[in-house]
Chain A
Amino acid sequence: MISNETVDNLAATRRRPRGTSLQRERRLWGWIFLSPWVIGFVVFTAAPIIASLVFSFTNFNLVNRDATAFIGLGNFERLFTDPVLKVSLGVTFKFFVLALPLSIILPVLLAALLNSRYLAGKRLFRTLFYMPYVVPVVSAIFIWGGVLNSDSGWLNRALRLVGIPGPNWLDDVNWIFPALLIIGLWGLGNAYLITLASMQAVPTVYYEAARVDGASGLRRFWHITIPMISPVIFFNTVLAVIGLLRYFEIPFILSNGTGAPGNSTMFFNVHFYKQAFVFFDMGYASAMAWLMFVITLVLTVILFWSAKYWVHYASGDQN
């Protein structure tokens, strides 16, 4: 925790006549109000991060706690030789590459539609397109599981109506990813809603000026809307990256953790869950968690670095 020294130092630099008693009292109150987070951060964030680093060098197993010993880099060596881990990283990466562009583009397209000045009943559409977002993921998976059923599911029935024999979405290794992407469509709510809100905040004078200059609708969208909403696109991208690296519930529930069909839904986190909470192999699971942390960190750093080339903070929100 922050020592008294730092408090005093800062007080000395910020307030010339060393904090009056009133100011000190306010600082004290500030710390009191901040304390839930400070305690929570230490207990539920900082300590676990350190602990998981320590665990990753041990063979700590919850079932066999007494045999815990330091095993050096053993867990990290295992990362390189675990064949299922290799598969799971491949699955996760492949899905990441497929799903990330969609989770960036689709909210923008949906928001553009709902922001169209030719759309009647905007409020109703806005609410109804958001609604699936509040559906519990477990319910959503079972609903989509029914809809995607190869025989009685509505999607294949609709395809049959137009003469296309629908695939076996959930049991065919070639179709499971499209199926996962379709199920993921119900998760667009938040991203599209904040994109829409930021589109509505773009000052109309820009559009008027562009129209006077003869810019077409598409050009206006590309040269005004997209740059103006780029901070929100960036925010959505960060959340999508984090979300995809946490991706777990949908493949886990669909295959009940088996990774079926084949090993095609053996996502990193499904494998991680097994190591940690089926085999209780906390040491190895911690090493896996650190691997994922490093991957997340690298991707986030790249993302934040890239932001300076495409995110425009010349905010129009203030007008």
Chain B
Amino acid sequence: MAASTTRTVPRIGESYANTSPYYLRQVRKSGLVALVTLFACMLLTAYLAPFAYMVLTAFKDKDQITASARGPILPVDIVTFEHDGKVLDVLNVPLEDGTRRLAILTKGRQSSVFIDPDDPTAAPIEWQGAWRTLTPVYEFAPRTGNFAEVWTRIKFPRLLFNTTFIAVTGTIGTLLSCIMVAYAFARFPLPYKNTLFMVLIATIILPRQLLLVPTYAFFSLIGWTGTWLPLIVPHFFANAFNVFLLRQYFLQLPRELDEAAQIDGAGPLRILLSVIIPQSYPVIVAVALFHIVFAWNDYFDPLIYTLGRPDLQPISVAIQQFNFVYSQQPHLIQATALLGLVLPVVLFFFSQRFFMRGVVITGVDK
């Protein structure tokens, strides 16, 4: 499927004035490739620009934020120069022999006096014009202090543990239950199997609100609110999306291997463990990834079930509450946003093949 690369430039000795229909078609094609790819690049840049905003803002400190509301987008400081115990700002000064970076000594409306930071002993330079029209010289100065500050303020290690624990135990539950259920649907003669499967799929369209109130009331009555159990236990009972994904995969595995194992005396459980699962790593990895990312990103359930127990909160809820309090401090907010998304994004990049193939199976095989 890779776009066929075309020769855009004639080889040495070939003429640019080649006007054969084939050659013209090639030129037109490479022109289109350049155009379409450029357009996609621009679109992608706009689509991902918020990430750049987040990273650059997270690396600014409070003063840089205040200075940069309309100023530079990079985390920068104004270059200064110390002269005779005074701190002087360095400005870009347009002189006859080109723009020079000079430290301003006395500021005046009509003219100002500058000295050269590289040669402070030389005679001061007088410049005619309003100094306020000059732009300061910036130097790139990213600050990492936000991360240290946020790390302790939101108790990041604690959140990391909470979120990981919820995600990992939930993943174990999802894998165990969904593999079992998908295996049942894919391989066993069950009465009304198709109807049952339709019921399973139909649960996708149920509004969350409908189940939420009684489920919450139920967990509240048995004393599970304010614990992680409501966030973990339901995942041990399978869900439609993952069962569907696994079943599709199991169905296309050759039955001959099952039968061969059966003849060798393997029971259904042994066949699942030794024949089906070893052949299904890609899809099992996909399900595990989906669940980890889901659990990491889930906001609503943790919000209601950890209400009043900040020590139990996962990262999503904690970030939201922290940022509500610090809503006037964009650098801290963006630092927490970055900490919140690092793990799922890194995980995605390392496993994107499994991840994206899994998405495709659920969507296309309907």
A-side residues, CB < 8 A to B, are 2, 6-7, 9-11, 14, 23, 26-27, 29-37, 39-41, 43-45, 47-49, 51-52, 55, 60, 62, 113-114, 116-122, 125-132, 134-140, 142-147, 149, 151-154, 157, 185, 190, 193-194, 197-198, 200-201, 231-232, 235-236, 238, 242, 245-246, 248-249, 253, 256, 269, 272, 276-277, 282, 285-286, 288-290, 292-293, 296-297, 300, 317
Contact = CB atoms under 8 A, between A and B. Distances in A.
Interface in B305-328: 307, 315-317, 319-320, 323-324
Contact of A52 (B48, B214, B319): B214
Given A122-B3, A142-B336, 16 more contacts: A26-B268, A31-B190, A33-B181, A36-B180, A37-B237, A55-B213, A119-B37, A120-B5, A140-B341, A143-B51, A152-B69, A253-B299, A256-B324, A276-B213, A289-B213, A292-B210
Nearest to B318: A138
Interface of B is mostly: helix
B248 to A, nearest CB: 12
B164 interface: no
A139 B334 CA distance: 8
B238 A40 contact: yes
Interface string B1-13: 1110100000000
Given A55-B213, A143-B337, A114 B51 contact: no
A249 B3 contact: no
A186 to B, nearest CB: 8
A290 B210 contact: yes
Question: Which of A35, A134, A200, A290 is packed against the most chain B CB atoms within 10 Å?
Answer: A134
A154 B181 contact: no
Question: Which of B5, B47, B208, B363 is packed against the most chain A CB atoms within 10 Å?
Answer: B363
B234 interface: yes
28 contacts: A33-B181, A33-B268, A40-B238, A41-B203, A44-B234, A45-B206, A49-B210, A62-B220, A116-B36, A119-B37, A122-B2, A125-B44, A128-B44, A131-B48, A132-B47, A132-B48, A137-B297, A137-B299, A139-B337, A143-B334, A146-B57, A157-B73, A193-B363, A194-B360, A198-B363, A246-B209, A277-B216, A297-B205
Given A232-B363, A276-B216, A6 B192 contact: yes
B348 interface: yes
B49 A154 contact: yes
B236 interface: yes
A278 B209 CA distance: 15
Nearest to A283: B213
A14 B214 contact: no
B363 A242 contact: no
Contact of A40 (B176, B216, B237): B237
Question: Which of A142, A200, A253 is packed against the most chain B CB atoms within 10 Å?
Answer: A142
Nearest to B225: A62
Contacts of A289: 207, 209-210, 212-213
Contacts of B360: 193-194, 197
B40 A2 contact: no
Contacts of B218: 48, 51
B47 A185 contact: yes
A119 B234 contact: no
Interface string B274-313: 0000000000000000000100110110001001000000
B188 A44 contact: no
Contacts of B36: 113, 116, 118-119
Nearest to B68: A152
Contact of A118 (B32, B203, B243): B32
Contacts of A197: 360, 363-364
B320 A253 contact: yes
B1 A154 contact: no
A32 B307 CA distance: 36
A242 B59 CA distance: 39
Contact of B214 (A10, A35, A55, A147): A55
B44 A44 contact: no
Contacts of B363: 190, 193-194, 197-198, 232, 235-236
B53 A300 contact: no
Contacts of B26: none
B175 to A, nearest CB: 11
Contacts of B214: 47-49, 51-52, 55, 286
Contacts of A7: 191
Given A114-B40, A128-B48, A286-B213, A300 B189 contact: no
B1 to A, nearest CB: 7
Contacts of B340: 136, 138-139
B364 A292 contact: no
B209 A292 contact: yes
B144 interface: no
B200 interface: yes
Interface string B225-242: 000000000101110000
Contact of A272 (B37, B187, B209, B297): B209
Nearest to B43: A113
Interface string B175-196: 0110011011101111110001
B101 interface: no
A134 B334 contact: no
Question: Which of B29, B50, B205, B272 is packed against the most chain A CB atoms within 10 Å?
Answer: B50
Question: Which of B185, B293, B337 is packed against the most chain A CB atoms within 10 Å?
Answer: B337
B261 interface: no
Contact of A26 (B35, B188, B199, B243): B188
B33 interface: yes
B211 interface: yes
Contacts of B205: 238, 242, 296-297, 300
A246 B234 CA distance: 20
